[in-house]
Amino acid sequence: MAQEDILKKIIAHSKEYGFIFQSSEIYDGLSAVYDYGQYGAELKNNIKRYWWDSMVRIHENIVGIDSAIFMHPTVWKASGHVGAFNDPLIDNKDSKKRYRADVLIEEHLAKIEAKIEKEVEKAAEKYGASFDEAQFRATNQRVIANQEKIDLIKKRFIKALEADNLAEVKNIIEDCEIVCPISGTKNWTDVRQFNLMFETKLGSVSDEANSIYLRPETAQGIFVNYLNVQKSGRMKIPFGIAQIGKAFRNEIVARQFIFRMREFEQMEMQFFVRPGEEIKWFEQWKETRLRWHKALGFNPKKYRYHNHDKLAHYANAATDIEFEFPMGFKEVEGIHSRTDFDLSQHQQYSGKKITYFDPELNESYVPYVIETSIGLDRMFLLILSSAYTEEDLTGEDGKTEQRVVLRIPPELAPVKLAILPLMRKDGLAEKATEILNELKYEVNCIYEEKDSIGKRYRRQDAIGTPYCITVDHETLENNTVTIRNRDTMEQERIPVDKVKQIVVEKTSMTNLLKKVN
């Protein structure tokens, strides 16, 4: 299936089964803003819990906070967002479509890189076990030429960005002969900077002094509370502060479903360390975070690190964890070594001393910071796109039918157990309700009595429910039920009292947390 088709299917599936709806849909929607439906909200809460527990609960030296979305406007001057939270934008004069200039160039580079990978793949197939990939990359003329092209464009692009030379960014787009995907032309406007923060007014007097911003990241809420948390929690370095919350960015281009939204959620953790020890911690967090992703059990080949070529002014090391989404490899999480930039800036702008007295070193310093920052909605898309599976099944009558199943890790599945009475009559509904009333305190259950059992199984597959139990006449006789596994579709007859044990054990978040630690 073509990759774009997968994304289209996921969007349609998300709507049909109550995961994600376009915001304000009855008014034709609001661009790049989405609402989570009944199963989406459950899945989102489970992702949050997985992140929160793996950060805050299992680390004695990490605590969590929940800071406000509105902050003093000077925060954003100190952080550099007022001056520099910009994206370079460019318009195509024919299609009137707007693009991020940096994204156009990155996509052009990705295309050249794809050519190299294809070449490598072809050779690997041809030479089989004797294939030496490193040697091939170093000697094949086409690979070398394409790699040189990439390096040259990258070098020019980084230099242009560093010098804030937007005319040169446009030259690069023209020299690379990048065309608008809609109009197919190279008729571009000049490149301009665009600040991504949303501005609003506080209180009833509408003047300049009352202008505030919707936060574009949650991290600053952590930095401005550094002293409060360190003192009230008697925290000792190294320690971390974590937070989950909404962030807002007036993105220039937001076309890939929940990958890039204008209102989204972040899960961020700032880890405060001794100056000079930041690279050691940076490496450690890189590994821990990748382990967190891989614990979910999706194809490990779909993850990779992408080190930043151009570091932000505040960073001395930065990497992204990228995942192969239906649109290709894209960032899902950033890990940044932010030096003492943020705390120093807030110290300067607020006039308050923000230092830590280190009793072991017997000295005071402004702590250095390692940040891990992941988009909750992007993580949601990662899970949906990995979990969505179409399978052809052959029935006993030899007919094939298709089932769509969301292979969401059971620990994160929105509903853990569906309780299905074979029919309403003969006391089966009452028995099923009795089981529901006992198990609903343990795991998220659903009760369904409409449609045939087969149809009800399919519906639960489409939601990603790992277990279904069917209550039938035999249940009334010997207190047993049939339990069905979503992934294997195997059914087994078990005593009702064993259901709780099986479902709780297989869906417990502890399974994941132990893999991360």
Give the nearest residue (CB) to ligand ATP: 375
373 near ligand ATP (CB under 6 A): yes
- The reply to whether 333 sits near ligand ATP by the rule CB under 6 A is yes
Per-residue x/- marks for ligand ATP, 51-90, CB under 6 A? Answer: ----------------------------------------
Give the Cα separation of 207 and 204 in Å (integer).
9
For ligand ATP, which residue of 215, 249, 338, 484 counts as binding (CB under 6 A)?
Answer: 249
Distance CA 218, CA 517 (A): 25
In this complex, which beta carbon is closest to ligand ATP, that of residue 256 or of residue 491?
256
CA atoms lying within 13 Å on the CB side of residue 303: 23
Backbone angles phi, psi at 210, to 5 degrees: -95, 5
Q: Is the distance from CB of 302 to CB of 386 less than 8 angstroms?
A: yes
CB of 312 to ligand ATP, least distance (A): 9
The nearest distance, CB 463 to ligand ATP, in angstroms, is 24
Verify binding: residue 213, ligand ATP, rule CB under 6 A: no
Q: Which stretch binds ligand ATP (CB under 6 A): 149-157, 256-264, 286-294, 300-308?
A: 256-264
- Shortest CB 80 distance to ligand ATP, Å: 12
The type of residue at 139 is T
Among the candidate windows 34-42, 62-70, 278-286, 326-334, which touches ligand ATP by CB under 6 A?
326-334
Of 378 and 484, which CB lies nearer to ligand ATP in the complex structure? 378
Strands 62-65 and 86-91: unpaired
Question: According to the binding rule CB under 6 A, does residue 416 interact with ligand ATP?
Answer: no
Give the span between the Cα atoms of 222 and 225, in whole angstroms.
5
Give the nearer residue to ligand ATP in terms of CB position, either 321 or 512. 321
- Per-residue binding string, ligand ATP, 121-160, x by CB under 6 A, is ----------------------------------------
Which string of DSSP letters, residue by residue, matches 215-277? -S-SHHHHHTTHHHHHHHTT--SSEEEEEEEEEE---S---SGGGS-SEEEEEEEEEEE-TT-
- Using the rule CB under 6 A, give the single segment among 142-150, 280-288, 328-336, 429-437 that binds ligand ATP: 328-336
φ/ψ (deg, to 5) at 312: -60, 160
User: Which listed residue (166, 374, 446, 463) binds ligand ATP by CB under 6 A?
Assistant: 374
417-421 sheet: strands from edge to edge: 445-447, 417-421, 467-471, 480-485, 491-495
Distance CA 85, CA 79 (A): 9
* Cβ 334 to ligand ATP shortest distance, Å: 4
Rounded CA separation 432/422 (Å)? 9
Report the alpha-carbon distance of residue 328 to residue 225 in Å, rounded. 38
C-alpha 300/C-alpha 311 separation (Å) is 27
377 near ligand ATP, judged by CB under 6 A: yes
Which of 113, 119, 251, 449 binds ligand ATP (CB under 6 A)? It is: 251
Instruction: Give the CB-side neighbour count of residue 399, counting CA atoms within 13 A.
Output: 4
**8 A C-beta contact, residue 32 and residue 189:** no
The number of residues that bind ligand ATP (CB under 6 A) is 16
Give 82: exposed, middle or buried? Use CB within 10 Å, 0-12, 13-18, 19+: middle
Q: Looking only at residues 451 through 510 of this chain, which bind ligand ATP when binding is defined by CB under 6 A?
A: none
* CB closer to ligand ATP, 249 vs 407: 249
User: Among 170, 260, 274, 338, which residue interacts with ligand ATP (rule: CB under 6 A)?
Assistant: 260
Pairing of strands 417-421, 467-471: parallel
Choices 284-292, 300-308, 370-378, 476-484; region in contact with ligand ATP by CB under 6 A:
370-378
From residue 492, alpha-carbon distances to 417, 443, 482 in Å are 15, 20, 5
Given candidates 113, 119, 322, 331, which one binds ligand ATP under the rule CB under 6 A? 331
Is position 245 an interface residue for ligand ATP (rule: CB under 6 A)?
no
Binding characters for ligand ATP, 264-303, by CB under 6 A (x = yes): x-x-------------------------------------
Q: Please give the residue ranges that form the binding site for ligand ATP (CB under 6 A).
A: 217, 249, 251, 260-261, 264, 266, 331-334, 373-375, 377-378
